[in-house]
Amino acid sequence: MLKTTHYDHITRIDLARTLAGRGRYWTTAYLVDGLLIDSGCAYSALELLAYLQGKPLSYLVNTHTHEDHIGANCHLQRMNSELKILAHPFALPVLAEPRERQPLHPYRRLMWGWPEPSKGEQVADGEMIRTENFSFQVIYTPGHSSDHICLYESEYGWLFSGDLFVGGRDRALSAGADIWGVIASLKKIADLPLSTLYPGSARVRENPGCELGEKIAYLEETGERVLDLYDKGWSVDAITRAIFGGPMFIEIFTLGHFSRRNLVRSYLRIQSNGATQHDEL
């Protein structure tokens, strides 16, 4: 399913798998001045392709390589051999071999499906991507994933934040995400003069400064509580229950890939083998 919303210079394109006539598990792409930011999931690729037919397209930038942001890359590259796909250097191997580099849990296959391989070119932190009327600065913002970037148009104060900021008070985290990296990256974007924030899902925010500040404060305060209880000898499970309460449906649905426990472990920098980063120093 595909829905569009038009802003002054920007088209928001919401994309989702269609199940029983309804869109599920939405993610958002944006089209601005021949620049497409993200390409949705594999299930909505043909709808996006049809929507973009006949529209000028110079660049596709992937904010990161999660499957719900790169699903139509291959189709768009086939449709337009001139199209440049730009992403962080860490993203390029995943774009080239998504199945080998980013195995998908069953819930991710159900919600978003397997992307096909595409060929990306790297953009570095600080580099500018220029379209006819706008200039977008690449800002490296790891945490949600190690290959995450945001795009910033300084003259208009627009920030395309991918999955770095979608709002809310996090009670769970994906395995492999780094909550301290998320906080550092949020601080980086909160320092910018922003008029409008365009996230990779959820609603567009005007004047997002306060909301970004509140989110950073919430995440830091939560981290302090986690560390305090850990220092007092509490176990990960006990900390999880005390701070985030009882089980969440999403934990069962994702077989624990997205969980409260992962959030606590990330605050404690516990890696999947049970070691802490401190142990390895």
Binding region for Zn ion (CB under 5 A): 66, 163
CB of 40 to Zn ion, least distance (A): 12
User: Is the Cβ–Cβ distance between 159 and 189 less than 8 Å?
Assistant: yes
12 versus 66: smaller Cβ distance to Zn ion: 66
141 versus 236: smaller Cβ distance to Zn ion: 141
CB of 21 to Zn ion, least distance (A): 26
CB of 91 to Zn ion, least distance (A): 12
Exposure string over 90-109, b if 16+ CB within 10 A, otherwise e = bbbebbeebeeebebeebbe
CB of 258 to Zn ion, least distance (A): 11
In the chain, the largest separation of any two C-alpha atoms, in whole Å, equals 62
CB of 225 to Zn ion, least distance (A): 26
CB of 66 to Zn ion, least distance (A): 3
239 versus 259: smaller Cβ distance to Zn ion: 259
**What does the CA dihedral 218, 221, 226, 231 come to, rounded to 10 degrees?**
170
User: Is the Cβ–Cβ distance between 144 and 192 less than 8 Å?
Assistant: no
CB of 131 to Zn ion, least distance (A): 24
| Angle at 272 (CA atoms; ends 64, 69), nearest 5 degrees | 15
66 versus 260: smaller Cβ distance to Zn ion: 66
CA 49 – CA 58 distance, rounded (Å): 14
66 versus 261: smaller Cβ distance to Zn ion: 66
138 versus 229: smaller Cβ distance to Zn ion: 138
User: Is the Cβ–Cβ distance between 85 and 118 less than 8 Å?
Assistant: yes
188 versus 225: smaller Cβ distance to Zn ion: 188
12 versus 148: smaller Cβ distance to Zn ion: 148
The dihedral of CA 209, 132, 139, 222: what is its sign? positive
CB of 144 to Zn ion, least distance (A): 6
Closest residue to Zn ion using C-beta atoms? 66
